[in-house]
Structures are given as structure tokens and as C-alpha cells.
């Protein structure tokens, strides 16, 4: 099973986004995604809120939530984290707290100017990188090689905030797992069952059905 997720979108629930979650869900449906992760600044949607959102929109999508943090000027996504983080001034402390609560810390925009080195992120326990984002710098071939050499999990997300020029699904993640909740996604990321894709999901073109031509039996001479 492979699912298509945008793992990084912001709603108007916090200052990071400009549009309601219902709008993002419709965009995700139109993009052909299987799920989205609402990444709110400093907070998460409760499971009850997510259930009510799915019922209200009658969406078939898997709708999850993760917390978006900025620590030491580094953007951090906390997947599957169920605890509460106090104000933190240390990236290493934040990563440690997320992992201690069975979460998966992923750094967004890791190739932007001023971001810590990939070696440093690995040293402090970061498990994954958002290697493609519609709002971040794209990696060079050399940087991608280093990502894989260091053993980071990779994801991609649009970073959608509601502005023009970016839509939900512009970058997305293929998840090779049966994801039913935030914990499932966190486990899939840290166990290497995700693949980052630059660009929106590709939909198969609708073409008329073609007649099937049976293959000849072995030994048959074709005219």
C-alpha cells in the first residue's frame, strides 16, 4: 500500500496560515492526495476535532495533525508527538523531548541559508528531513547524497499557508504503509517507509479502453 500525503500545510487556526482547514481539504482532494497533515504553529488538533472536521467536510482523506515549531531559527515538525512542549531555546532539547514521547522530529527547510549542517542535525538526533518544499530551497545533488549517506528519512510537503503561487500537494510524500493515525505516520517516517516527491501527484490520463490482443503461443509463426 502506498499513500500520497502532503505532510506540511498550515491553516488559519494559527498565524502561520490564512485559510480554514476545509479549504485545504478540498485542495487536497482535487490534487489527488490520500491525506494531509495540518501542521499548526505551537499546537495540534485533537483527535475529536479531526473527526468532526472529517465528518463536516465528508472527506475521504486521511486528515492528521502535527506540531510546527521554530527553535534556534530552525523549523521543526513533530510527528506523532503527544506531549506538551514548554518554551524551548535549544534545538537539541526539543528533538530529545519529541523522541522521548515516541514522536518523530523532522526538520523543514533544511537547505535554507543559515540552517545547521546535516551532520549537526544528525548528531542531535533529528530523524528526518523535508527535502522538498514549495516554500524552501531545493537541495543540490551533493546535498541529497549527504542526506542518504547520513541515513535521514525523507519527506516532502507544500508548506502551504494560503498565499498565491503554492497549492496543497505541490510537493508530497509517498508513504509505503497503512496509515490510520498520527502514530502510524510517525513510525513510517522513522522506519524509512517514506519517499519525497517534488511536484504534485501525477494522475493517470483517462484514455479509451483498447482491445486486448492475445499473445501468440510459443512456436507460432507470425505472418
Q: What is the largest CA-CA distance in the chain?
A: 78
Question: What percentage of the chain reaches a pLDDT higher than 90?
Answer: 73
Task: Tell me what pLDDT residue 213 has.
Answer: 36
* Most confident residue range from 1-5, 13-17, 215-219: 1-5
Sheet hosting strand 3-9, strand order edge to edge? 153-157, 128-133, 104-108, 74-79, 62-71, 35-41, 3-9, 171-175, 194-198
> Could you read off the pLDDT of 106-158 as tens digits, one per residue?
999 999 999 999 999 999 999 999 999 988 899 999 999 999 999 999 999 99
| CA 27 remoteness from chain centre | 15
Average pLDDT, the chain: 88
Q: What is the 3-state secondary structure (H, E, C) of the chain?
A: CCEEEEEEECCCCCCCCCCCHHHHHHHHHHHCCCEEEEEEECCCCCHHHHHHHHHHHCCCCEEEEEEEEEECCEEEEEECCCCCCCCCCCHHHHHHHHHHCCCEEEEECCCCCCCCCHHHHHHCCCCEEEEEECCCCCCCHHHHHHHHHCCCEEEEECCECCCCCCCCCCEEEEECCCCCCHHHHHHHHHCCCEEEEECCCCCCCCCCCCCCCCCCCCCCCCC
Task: Tell me what pLDDT residue 161 has.
Answer: 87
The residue extents of the domains of the chain are 3-198
Closest to 155 measured CA to CA, from 39, 29, 19? 39
Task: Tell me what pLDDT residue 214 has.
Answer: 37
CA angle 191, 195, 197 (to 5 degrees): 160
Task: Tell me what pLDDT residue 203 has.
Answer: 52
Do 98 and 90 contact (CB within 8 A), yes or no? no
Q: Give 12's pLDDT tier (boundaries 50, 70, 90).
A: confident
Mean pLDDT of 194-215: 60
> Could you read off the pLDDT of 76-93 as tens digits, one per residue?
999 998 877 777 779 999
Q: Which of 33-42, 133-142, 156-165, 167-176 shows the lowest mean pLDDT across its residues?
A: 156-165
Mean pLDDT of 200-209: 53
The CATH number of domain 3-198, selected from 3.30.70.20, 3.40.50.280, 3.50.50.60, 3.20.20.140:
3.20.20.140
Mean pLDDT of 18-42: 93
Task: Tell me what pLDDT residue 13 has.
Answer: 87
Mean pLDDT of 176-181: 96
Alpha carbons within 13 angstroms on the beta-carbon side of residue 25 total 17
Residue 18 has pLDDT above 80, yes or no: no
Residue 163 has pLDDT above 80, yes or no: no
Task: Tell me what pLDDT residue 208 has.
Answer: 40
Q: What is the pTM of this model?
A: 0.87
Amino acid at each position: 500500500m502506498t499513500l500520497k500525503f502532503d505532510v506540511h500545510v498550515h491553516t488559519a487556526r494559527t498565524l502561520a496560515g490564512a485559510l480554514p482547514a476545509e479549504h485545504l481539504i478540498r485542495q487536497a482532494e482535487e490534487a489527488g492526495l490520500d491525506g494531509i497533515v495540518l501542521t499548526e504553529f505551537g499546537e495540534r488538533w485533537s483527535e475529536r476535532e479531526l473527526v468532526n472536521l472529517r465528518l463536516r467536510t465528508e472527506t475521504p482523506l486521511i486528515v492528521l495533525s502535527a506540531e510546527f515549531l521554530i527553535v534556534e531559527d530552525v523549523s521543526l515538525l513533530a510527528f506523532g508527538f503527544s506531549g506538551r512542549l514548554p518554551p524551548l531555546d535549544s534545538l537539541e532539547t526539543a528533538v530529545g523531548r519529541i523522541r522521548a514521547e515516541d514522536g518523530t522530529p523532522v526538520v523543514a527547510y533544511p537547505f535554507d541559508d543559515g540552517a545547521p549542517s546535516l551532520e549537526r542535525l544528525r548528531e542531535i538526533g533529528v530523524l528526518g528531513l523535508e527535502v522538498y518544499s514549495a516554500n524552501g530551497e531545493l537541495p543540490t545533488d551533493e546535498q541529497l547524497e549527504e542526506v542518504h549517506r547520513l541515513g535521514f528519512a525523507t519527506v516532502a510537503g507544500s508548506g502551504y499557508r494560503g498565499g498565491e503561487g503554492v497549492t496543497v500537494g505541490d510537493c508530497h510524500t509517498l508513504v509505503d504503509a497503512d496509515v490510520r493515525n498520527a502514530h502510524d505516520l510517525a513510525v513510517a517516517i522513522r522506519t524509512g517507509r517514506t519517499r519525497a516527491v517534488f511536484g504534485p501527484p501525477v494522475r493517470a490520463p483517462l484514455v479509451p479502453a483498447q482491445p486486448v490482443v492475445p499473445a501468440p503461443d510459443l512456436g507460432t509463426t507470425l505472418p
